[in-house]
Structure formats: C-alpha cells, structure tokens
Structure 1
C-alpha cells in the first residue's frame, strides 16, 4: 500500500495543488493495480502529524509520500532532509505560529528521506518534467510533517519508507502570482514516477544534485 498525503489550502489560497495532485496519483496507481490511497492533512501544526499518524495506523503503508506546495519553485522538489524545528513566518490555519520550537522534544536534529531521491530525479527528468533535489523543506508545516513522518517511521521499525515532495503553484495560481507553475496532471505524473521508482528500489544513484547556497 502506498499512502500519499496533500494539504488543504493555506496562506489565502483557495486550492492546494498538492492535494489535487495526490488524488490524481492515487487514482492512476489504483487503475494500474498498485494499491494507493490519498489523505488530506490540515495545514495546522501538530494536528497534521496526528492525522498522518492515524492514516499510517489505518492503512499500514509500505511507502509514504507526503506532498506540499512550494509556491515560487519552478519544478517538483524532492526533499532531502527534515529538521527538528518549527519557525513559522505566518500563522497556520488555526492561528498557531510557533517560533524556534522543536517538532519533537528530545528528537534527533534531523532525518534524511528514505526515498531514492536521485533515482527519482533521473526518472522524472526522463519524462520531461522539471524536478530538483531540495536541501530544505522550510520551517513551516511542510517540514513539520516531513520530520513527523520520518520520526514515526523510524520508531515503528516496520520497514516502511517515506519522504516529502514539494510541488509548485498550479498554472492557475501561477498566473495570479506571476510566478512559475505546473499543470496538476504533470505533478501527478511526477508523483506516480516517484511512487513506482521508490517501490522498485531501495538503492540510489550517485549523481550531482546539490546546491552552492
């Protein structure tokens, strides 16, 4: 079973392409005989992790792909590392705005994704979809969920793997913000590739995909 999660809208937006894309992805995978389900997370600190925890308990996935929106980026971002910090520039959807707080008190400083992110990068690029490895998922609810996911998987010890992917604005949002965007269908195609590649391999490629700053 593959569990995909997306977020509800936040920051004044009326849609969140992460949720639209994971729904399409789950439909694509199920149509191909690959069991998958999509769950919407609230854009709320702590509640989002609790919703994710319940979804993992309910579905028992072997693979978890959490997805969020990164408006302004110009491609699908495979996140490398989750850090144990909440530092919210804007309030979440219930008005919470933690500053310099731990996601998990006493937890490790960081977790790495357990997805083969560079193999996924190559496969997405081969499909002609813009993609990159990202070194930061921010310090808002996306990183909060990414860290929470990896902490859950690390402490369950059941062999499940997972990671976090950011998608850009949808083309409709991009036209409003005068920013880069992507069709939701292309986001879903990229997420399908990530899911299938991650199912097929636990090893990763060695290729340059880092950043100078």
Structure 2
C-alpha cells in the first residue's frame, strides 16, 4: 500500500507552517507501507495542480492532506469537503476567490474515506487532544480536500482520501493567546493517524468514540 501525505508551506506572513514541518519528521515507510511526502504551495490552483500531478505519478492508495488551523487546540480530522470557496485572505499568489463553487457542476460535498472516529479515539488514548471536525473552512484546505474527493469520484476510483487539521506551533503564538501544540506531539499524532489508517484499511470506522 502507498500513502501520499501533503503539507502546505507558510502563508499569511507566517514564517513556518506546522503542516510542512511535520512532514520532515515522518518516515519513508510505516509498517512496511510506503509514505510519499509532498510539500504544496498555499495556493488554490498551485496546490491542486501539484497534488493532481503527484496522484498521476504515484497512483497512491490514500491521499491525506494536512493543514494548519489556527485557533484549534487539538488534532481535527475533517468529516466533509464542501463545494464552496470564500477566502477571507489571499493565497500565496495573491488570489482570493469569494463566494463561488469549486467545481461548477460538482457535488455539494464529499465525506472522507478515513476512519476519523478511530483516529480521534487513538490520538486521545495517547494523551493528546483530538476531535472530529465538521468544517474544513472555505479556504485552500477545504479547496484541496474537495478537489481530491472530486478526482476520486471522477478519475481515481480506487483512491481514498481525507484531511487533517493541526494546531499552531508554540513559536507561532508567542505574541497571542492562541492554543498551540509542539511539533513532537503533532508528529506523534500523525504517526498514530497513519497507523490507524493502515489498521482500518478495508474495515469500517468505529461508530462511537466511546466504544
């Protein structure tokens, strides 16, 4: 099995992006399965193009996108990608689409194929905060999440995908009172997430976080 995992570069004046940083500490293989790590631009069109090209080149079984969610205190696997973009800030190419569909004739939304309840439960059991999120926003994160799901529905029928949001790093919140998580904890959480994806491949997600 091959898992592709992506992380965005810094944006909106930030010097780092934890989604990019965590990729540096993930292994090339996990439980005998290859891990393809891809840095992508925080740009609507460039990120989509980079990931699409990588899907064609690698033909992975999974495409898991990681993004920074400032203000969140834990790891938040996303449940659904929506067909809507409404950017509150411009991306790294100064593009700022507002109030429009991502794909004109695409479905309104797609649910993740990741075992998000099991992921949350296993991360919590390790002592780290996590919860399922019902909104990936309307910025580049949701845009890429939706695009991957759309491609899965139209071109890559064997692909499974999903999106994981992670908190700020401590260095990003020195001048603010916002939650953060250490890079070591984020890395450990992503390792748990990946192992859970592997363990649940071909199986149904748990229905309750309290099973």
* TM-score higher than 0.5: yes
Computed over aligned residues only, the root mean square deviation of the Cα atoms, in angstroms, reads 1.6
Count of equivalent residues: 207
Per-residue deviation, residues 21-65 of structure 1 (Å, max 9, x unmatched): 12322x2x5265331021111111122111110111111111111
Match of 2:34 in 1: 35
Query: Pairwise mapping of residues 1-213 of structure 1 onto structure 2 (< 5 A)?
Result: 1-25=2-26, 27=27, 30=29, 33-201=32-200, 202-207=203-208
Q: Decide which moves more: 7-16 or 184-193.
A: 184-193
Q: TM-score by structure 2 length?
A: 0.93
Moved over 6 A (4+): none
* Mapped partners of 2:193, 2:153: distance in 1: 21
Contact 1:22-1:191 at 8 Å conserved across structures: no
Q: Which has the higher helix share?
A: 1
Contact 2:9-2:40 at 8 Å conserved across structures: yes
* Mapped partners of 2:60, 2:30: distance in 1: 18
Counterparts in 2 of 1:146 and 1:31: CA distance versus 1, 3 Å: closer
Structure 2, unpaired ranges of 5+:
none
Structure 1, unpaired ranges of 5+:
none
Per-residue deviation, residues 46-99 of structure 1 (Å, max 9, x unmatched): 221111101111111111110000011000111001100110011111111111
Q: Secondary structure at the match of 1:139?
A: coil
Q: TM-score by structure 1 length?
A: 0.92
